């Protein structure tokens, strides 16, 4: 981990590495200590990113989570560097103890915090405590490694600091890149943290028990070996039980049998209920049978799809939500429809209900959500296998990046449906900015319409989205539809219909009998509900540099 203080006290003589009398042996020992600094820095940064990612997933507001974790850990690292000065008389032994403690705390941190969130509560307090402890241990590493390097071969302090910090910074780079591109997609947060802890423990044992075998007494050396082995055993047992732990925690958290659970590159994806479903058409994509299948007389719970810990689809209210989002935008020309988000296929299915729709393009960032929409039996029932319809084209891309090139290609759409996460989430705020809506307008036909789900109408983010749409020259009509109380979601859904001319809020006549359809009277009531909640002082438009 990156530290900005190093011990400068001169180490006592003796206790150096075996073979230190030969220059070649000293060079090899010195390189091994620098390698240990590299490994420790990589592990330390992985711990930081694990805490940030877990906090963002569980609580949202990634800016706040990153700020809390990083500031607390940097402060704690300074404390750890100061405390390490007391232990430089036996730097090898102290380093082994620090690495064992760091391996245990850092390796188990994700499981401990997730368990605290699910069963205990007080997650923020636990997060600060774990970040403090990990930071103190990381901060103690560089002063101890500096003392070990000087013990191998005395040299000018500035040169030793430069070498040690170079290894530290390069290790931080490797750890920072390994977390999102290797550990998270291949192992997940919990297993990735446990593997990182095991590497920490091995690094401490190698430095002490191979490079500096004469510093600890034989009895202490046996204790250190035993401690390192015990830590590895604890981490291995935790890794073996991680699957059962996650299933129990998800069962307690979501309150329904979990049929699918996976961590994609972008988010945690969990699919629960209903209790009775036919087997999937394919055994791929990580399906896990429920450990508690429905017995005779048990009622089926509705399907729920959670993305990043937040409810994205609830089977009990899916028809009303997507009808309210899509149908008003279909009044008028609607041959070409663009759906931004909506990888579950539900918005596309609603658009395909309307006669005259010839082409639906779905732009979804997460391919795992698209696979679920194509293969999960319950989702395909809800979306009527829309993603297999020849009129539907799915593009796996970030909607913001895709729009930047779509306008240059001359693509134009009669209807654009923004079925995106709520604007209050940090990761989705760019999708409700002036820049984003400006690009949407470029791909919108002159008489086209844009439908936006912008979260609950009582939230400031909803009215910021409305002001942002108007700032791009579009005219808007807002409406609020009460949500189904049977789902653990907001009390209402807030929608905005926008177009170059004043949009007319009415349903298409062909959809009167469709499930969840709102008639003209219901839409007038929905518009009145939204207008009654309009704030006296509306927020200004949102931009990339000044998100609202």
Pairing of β 392-396 and β 475-482: unpaired
Give the per-residue pLDDT at 297: 36
How sure is the predictor about 300, in pLDDT bands with cuts at 50, 70 and 90? low
Tell me the sheet residues that pair with 396. 364
Residue corresponding to tokens 């850092």? 106
Which of residues 427 and 400 earns the better pLDDT score?
A: 400
Do the Cβ atoms of 138 and 77 come closer than 8 Å?
yes
Tell me: the pLDDT tens digits for 154-209? 777 778 889 889 999 999 999 999 998 899 888 888 999 999 999 999 887 777 77
d(C-alpha 107, C-alpha 199), whole Å: 10
CA distances from residue 381 to 126, 221, 344, 377 in whole angstroms, order as listed: 42, 63, 11, 6
Please state which of the ranges 374-378, 394-398, 405-409 shows the lowest mean pLDDT: 405-409
Tell me the sheet residues that pair with 417. 339, 451
H helices present in 426-519, as ranges: 434-443, 460-471
* Upstream peptide bond of 74 is cis (omega within 30 degrees of 0): no
How long is the chain? 548
Tell me: the pLDDT tens digits for 233-242? 999 999 999 9
Hey, what's the torsion of the CAs at 452, 457, 460, 466, to 10 degrees? 40
Of the chain, the percentage scoring pLDDT greater than 70 comes to 88
Residue 480's Cβ-side half-sphere holds a number of Cα atoms within 13 Å equal to 19
Domain 23-237 has CATH 1.20.1250.20: yes
Q: pTM of the full predicted structure?
A: 0.77
Tell me: the pLDDT tens digits for 22-36? 556 778 888 888 898
Task: Please give the order of strands across the beta sheet that includes 492-499.
Answer: 392-396, 359-364, 336-341, 413-419, 444-453, 492-499, 475-482
d(C-alpha 344, C-alpha 385), whole Å: 10
Residue 442's Cβ-side half-sphere holds a number of Cα atoms within 13 Å equal to 16
For residue 213, give the 3-state DSSP assignment.
coil
Residue 107's Cβ-side half-sphere holds a number of Cα atoms within 13 Å equal to 25
d(C-alpha 175, C-alpha 526), whole Å: 50
Residue 12 clears pLDDT 50, i.e. is over it:
no
CA angle in degrees (0–180, nearest 5) for 118-124-130? 95
Residue 438 clears pLDDT 90, i.e. is over it:
yes
Tell me: the pLDDT tens digits for 257-298? 788 888 787 888 888 877 544 444 443 333 333 333 333 333
277 contact partners, CB below 8 Å, separation of at least 6? 259, 377, 378
d(C-alpha 461, C-alpha 390), whole Å: 37
Burial-class residue 176 by CB neighbours within 10 Å (0-12, 13-18, 19+): middle
The arithmetic mean of pLDDT across residues 98-124, rounded, is 93
CA distances from residue 433 to 87, 466, 468, 471, 539 in whole angstroms, order as listed: 53, 10, 6, 10, 13
Domain boundaries, the chain: 23-237, 316-532
d(C-alpha 69, C-alpha 72), whole Å: 5
Do the Cβ atoms of 245 and 257 come closer than 8 Å?
no
Among 419, 422, 484, 492, the active-site one is 419
Do the Cβ atoms of 444 and 469 come closer than 8 Å?
no
d(C-alpha 346, C-alpha 358), whole Å: 17
The arithmetic mean of pLDDT across residues 305-332, rounded, is 87
Give the per-residue pLDDT at 19: 44
Give the per-residue pLDDT at 1: 45
Token pair belonging to 482: 């009460």
Tell me the sheet residues that pair with 307. 269, 310
Q: Identify whether 344 is a catalytic site residue.
A: no
CATH architecture, range 316-532: 3-Layer(aba) Sandwich (3.40)
d(C-alpha 373, C-alpha 529), whole Å: 33
Q: Is the dihedral of CA 361, 363, 364, 367 positive or negative?
A: positive
d(C-alpha 490, C-alpha 312), whole Å: 11
């Amino acid at each position: 981990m990156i530290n900005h203080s190093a011990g400068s006290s001169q180490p006592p003589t003796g206790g150096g590495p075996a073979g230190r009398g030969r220059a070649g042996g000293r060079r090899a020992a010195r390189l091994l200590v620098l390698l240990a600094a590299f490994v420790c820095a990589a592990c330390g940064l992985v711990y930081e990113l694990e805490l940030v990612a877990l906090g963002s997933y569980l609580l949202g507001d990634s800016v706040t989570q990153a700020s809390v974790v990083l500031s607390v850990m940097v402060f704690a690292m300074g404390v750890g560097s100061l405390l390490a000065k007391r232990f430089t008389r036996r730097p090898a032994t102290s380093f082994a103890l620090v690495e064992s403690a760091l391996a245990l705390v850092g390796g188990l941190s994700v499981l401990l915090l997730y368990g605290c969130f699910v069963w205990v509560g007080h997650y923020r307090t636990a997060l600060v405590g774990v970040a403090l402890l990990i930071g103190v241990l990381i901060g103690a590493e560089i002063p101890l490694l500096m003392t070990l390097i000087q013990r191998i071969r005395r040299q000018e302090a500035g040169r030793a600091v430069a070498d040690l910090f170079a290894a530290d910074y390069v290790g931080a780079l490797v750890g920072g890149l390994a977390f999102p591109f290797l550990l998270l997609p291949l192992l997940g947060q919990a297993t990735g943290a446990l593997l990182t802890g095991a590497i920490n423990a091995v690094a401490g044992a190698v430095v002490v028990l191979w490079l500096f075998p004469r510093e600890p007494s034989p009895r202490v050396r046996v204790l250190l070996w035993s401690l390192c082995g015990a830590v590895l055993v604890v981490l291995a047992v935790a890794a073996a039980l991680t699957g059962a732990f996650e299933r129990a925690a998800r069962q307690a958290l979501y309150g329904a049998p979990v049929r699918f659970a996976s961590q994609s590159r972008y988010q945690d994806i969990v699919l629960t209920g209903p209790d009775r479903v036919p087997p999937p058409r394919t055994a791929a994509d990580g399906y896990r049978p429920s450990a508690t299948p429905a017995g005779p007389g048990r009622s089926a719970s509705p399907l729920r799809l959670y993305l990043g810990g937040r409810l994205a689809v609830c089977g009990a209210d899916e028809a009303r939500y997507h009808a309210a989002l899509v149908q008003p935008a279909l009044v008028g020309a609607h041959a070409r429809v663009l759906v931004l988000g909506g990888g579950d296929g539900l918005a596309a299915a609603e658009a395909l209900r309307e006669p005259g729709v010839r082409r639906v393009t779905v732009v979804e960032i997460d391919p795992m959500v698209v696979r679920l929409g194509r293969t999960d039996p319950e989702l395909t029932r809800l979306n009527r296998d829309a993603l297999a319809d020849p009129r539907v084209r799915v593009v796996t891309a970030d909607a913001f990046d895709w729009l930047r090139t779509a306008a240059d290609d001359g693509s134009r759409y009669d209807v654009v449906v923004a079925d995106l996460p709520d604007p209050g989430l940090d990761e989705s705020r760019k999708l409700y900015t002036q820049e984003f809506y400006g690009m949407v307008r470029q791909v919108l036909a002159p008489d086209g319409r844009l439908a936006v789900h912008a979260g609950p109408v009582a939230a400031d983010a909803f009215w910021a989205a409305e002001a942002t749409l108007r700032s791009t020259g579009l005219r808007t009509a807002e409406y609020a539809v009460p949500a189904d109380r049977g789902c653990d979601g907001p009390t209402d859904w807030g929608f905005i219909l926008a177009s170059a001319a004043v949009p007319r809020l009415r349903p298409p006549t062909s959809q009167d009998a469709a499930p969840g359809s709102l008639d003209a009277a219901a839409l007038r009531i929905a518009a009145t509900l939204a207008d009654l909640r309009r704030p006296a002082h509306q927020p200004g438009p949102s931009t990339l540099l000044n998100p609202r």
